[in-house]
Amino acid sequence: MPVVVVKKIIRIQREFLWGGVKGGRKINWVSWKEVCRPRSQGGLGVRDVWKANLSLLIKWRWRLLEKGNALWKEVLKAKYGSSSIQKVHWIGSELPSRASLWWKDLCGLDVQENGSWFARNLSRRLGNGNSTRFWLDVWFGNLSLGERFPRLFSISLQKDAMVSNFWVEKEGVWGWEFDWRRRLFAWEDELLRELREVLPPLAFTGM
């Protein structure tokens, strides 16, 4: 919902509640935030339009992550790319100039000073690792590996690669393998050793 529409709806609500008989305005004895609180918390239970709009956007983001090939998903894939349907957070994603207002609002969920709150409040089931990005998604712990190891992420050739791309078989043994754009310095080798120590051993093979 466009910001201008949200503000107009709130203005109508406020005028209805605090407007005078002849069009004048009454004194606002409490803040609008208090008015929107549930009655059980001392408010009037008036719906907060901002929060209602936010909850609907979150619902759509969740539906994008659910399994299934609904027609509306196929349309979005064709317009914005298939990767946009799989991502939990869209920080750093390029916003097409032809994007609709609705799509821009969905992307706006991640525009926060401390990162993608939507992604931080979701937990992922790794499965076969084909839909979870190794560096960018939070698939174990509380931070993405790109945030925990920013130096290694900066020199990786696999920034958008999935977990399954890193878990490979060599001579019958499965393990973590990485591609770098140059040879690592000694202190970067230490970071890589630390990364290998925190990575969980995966049970799936033959993906």
Q: Report d(CA 14, CA 26) in Å as an integer.
A: 10
Enter the pTM of the model.
Answer: 0.54
Residue 172, sorted as left (phi over 0), alpha (psi -120 to 50) or beta, turns out to be left
Cβ atoms of 178 and 153 within 8 Å: the answer is no
Give DSSP secondary structure letters for 141-181. SSS-HHHH-HHHHHTBS-TT-BHHHHEEEETTEEEE---BS
Q: How many other CB atoms sit within 10 Å of the CB of residue 202? A: 17
Q: What does the angle CA 171 – CA 174 – CA 178 come to, to the nearest 5 degrees?
A: 100
Amino acid 170 reads: K
What are 94-127's pLDDT values in tens digits? 677 778 888 888 777 766 545 566 666 666 677 7
What are 7-33's pLDDT values in tens digits? 888 887 777 777 755 656 666 667 878
